[in-house]
């Protein structure tokens, strides 16, 4: 018999923290002098790692690898790309197998399904075709948009996908932006309107039991470059109004997750020339302290050119964690590396025992991720 998520979490709470069992949900880190065994620490670190994989069937080697890693507690979730989707039935079967392998805390099963040109699940495989964010804001009321997004989210939930990496709440301040404006990914250049339709996206998904992630913090809409390919600096084009959707959606409780961008933004005090995803000034100083966001921060893909082209693997992981990211995403797109969960775990276990601040960061992230996962309910379409 399947246990509900709440029952699993309650069981975790009741386990003694000194044992090898998973720790409780409290977000407060333990004192720096307290000891955490390596097995327990690896499970905590595992809740910070999301990877893409190669394969579109259960028998594929790439899928079997992530299923095994999920069973060992090395993953918090997986990210679906177009290459993973051959049939909808196949996606559903893989997700059922992944959750069964995970056993305890549910996996986050994520996808970029924004609508328009950013869709991993397409009409060709039988998924509902969705308009772009720009088209939605131009042709629908917020109420109509919410109903439309609910239908999409219900189909995601029916496949076992519980996290949609959207909405894009970047403002369309540069219509020629190669990765936002030109692709119709932004709802509007106006912060209030982007907030309104971003909220419709979030609420529609919540009605179907699917989590969402606001992106790309602190704003990617003004850029003239693409962080998938290169370092991008928005310092001369970014405006403070780009924070409006984040501020309002956080204040109204409509922010499950916020995704950090790889853009450089020197307008943020202390950020200097550090990408936002690697900047404590941006993620802690601005997002946590000023905007009062208490939820999960997830990185954009750490294998994108803006990061991988400038930093080695170890530095990327350490900087991303210390900057404040709770979940590190490795899409494994161009150069798949199935060993990433173990590499992250091996690195952070050693470093955390030497660096009390890193140990505390891991505990903080674990607490936030567990709290987020407590919101995941059984597939509403199976009730």
Lowest mean pLDDT among 11-15, 17-21, 312-316, 356-360: 17-21
Higher pLDDT, 33 or 214: 214
Strands 263-264 and 232-233: parallel
Which residues are designated catalytic? 228, 300
pLDDT mean over 208-215:
99
Q: Is the pLDDT of residue 287 over 90?
A: yes
**pLDDT at position 10:** 43
| Buried-state track 67-89, b at ≥16 Cβ within 10 A, e below 16 | bebbeebbbbbbbbbebbbeeee
Residues 6+ apart with CB under 8 A from 281: 268, 269, 270, 271, 272, 274
Higher pLDDT, 32 or 142: 142
Q: Which of 120, 227, 100 is nearest to 163 (CA)?
A: 120
**Domain coordinates in residue numbering, the chain:** 46-373
Flag whether the pTM goes above 0.85. yes
**pLDDT at position 383:** 37
**pLDDT at position 102:** 95
Please give the structure tokens belonging to residue 369: 């991720």
Cβ proximity of 279 and 271 under 8 Å: yes
The string of DSSP letters for 258-294 reads: EEEP-EE-TTSTTTTTSBGGG-HIIIIIIIIIIS---
**pLDDT at position 6:** 47
pLDDT mean over 130-151:
98
Distance of CA 73 to the CA centre of its chain: 18
pLDDT band at 238 (very low <50, low <70, confident <90, very high): very high
pLDDT mean over 357-366:
98
**pLDDT at position 34:** 55
- The percent of residues above 90 in pLDDT, for the chain, comes to 87
Model confidence pLDDT, tens digit, residues 296-328: 999 999 999 999 999 999 999 999 999 999 999
pLDDT mean over 323-343:
98
**pLDDT at position 104:** 87
Q: Is the pLDDT of residue 13 over 50?
A: no
In the chain, at which residue ranges do the beta strands (DSSP E only) sit?
A: 49-52, 77-80, 108-111, 113-115, 118-119, 163-164, 211-217, 232-233, 257-260, 263-264, 296-299, 328-330
**pLDDT at position 293:** 99
pLDDT mean over 150-162:
98
pLDDT band at 378 (very low <50, low <70, confident <90, very high): low
Model confidence pLDDT, tens digit, residues 50-76: 999 999 999 999 999 999 999 999 999
Higher pLDDT, 33 or 189: 189
Residues 6+ apart with CB under 8 A from 251: 292
**pLDDT at position 32:** 45
**pLDDT at position 377:** 74
Domain 46-373, CATH homologous superfamily name and number = Glycoside hydrolase, family 3, N-terminal domain (3.20.20.300)
**pLDDT at position 103:** 86
pLDDT band at 16 (very low <50, low <70, confident <90, very high): very low
């Amino acid at each position: 018999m399947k246990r509900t998520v709440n029952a699993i979490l309650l069981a975790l709470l009741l386990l003694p923290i000194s044992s090898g069992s998973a720790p409780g949900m409290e977000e407060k880190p333990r004192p720096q002098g307290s000891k955490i065994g390596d097995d327990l620490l690896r499970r905590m670190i595992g809740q910070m790692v999301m990877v893409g994989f190669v394969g579109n069937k259960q028998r594929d080697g790439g899928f079997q690898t992530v299923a095994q890693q999920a069973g060992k507690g090395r993953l918090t979730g997986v990210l679906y790309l177009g290459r993973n989707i051959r049939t909808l039935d196949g996606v559903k079967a893989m997700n059922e197998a992944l959750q069964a392998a995970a056993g305890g805390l549910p996996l986050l099963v994520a996808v970029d399904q924004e609508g328009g040109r950013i869709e991993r699940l397409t009409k060709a495989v039988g998924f509902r075709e969705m308009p772009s964010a720009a088209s939605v804001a131009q042709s629908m009321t917020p109420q109509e948009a919410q109903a439309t997004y609910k239908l999409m989210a219900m189909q995601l939930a029916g496949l076992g996908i519980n996290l949609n990496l959207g909405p894009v709440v970047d403002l369309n301040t540069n219509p020629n932006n190669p990765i936002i404006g030109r692709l119709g990914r932004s709802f509007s250049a106006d912060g209030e309107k982007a907030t309104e339709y971003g909220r419709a996206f979030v609420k529609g998904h919540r009605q179907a039991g699917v989590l969402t992630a606001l992106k790309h913090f602190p704003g990617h809409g003004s850029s003239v470059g693409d962080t998938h390919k290169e370092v991008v600096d928005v310092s001369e084009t970014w405006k403070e109004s780009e924070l409006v959707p984040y501020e309002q959606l956080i204040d109204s409780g409509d922010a499950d997750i916020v995704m950090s961008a790889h853009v450089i933004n020197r307008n943020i005090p202390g950020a200097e020339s550090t990408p936002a995803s690697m900047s404590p000034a941006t993620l802690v100083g601005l997002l946590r302290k000023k905007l009062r966001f208490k939820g999960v921060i997830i990185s954009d893909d750490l294998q994108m050119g803006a990061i991988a082209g400038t930093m080695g693997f170890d530095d990327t992981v350490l900087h991303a964690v210390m900057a404040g990211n709770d979940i590190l995403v490795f899409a494994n797109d161009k150069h798949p590396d199935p060993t990433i969960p173990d590499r992250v775990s091996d690195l952070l276990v050693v470093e955390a025992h030497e660096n009390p601040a890193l140990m505390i960061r891991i505990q903080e992230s674990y607490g936030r991720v567990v709290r987020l996962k407590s919101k995941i309910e059984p597939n509403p379409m199976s009730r």
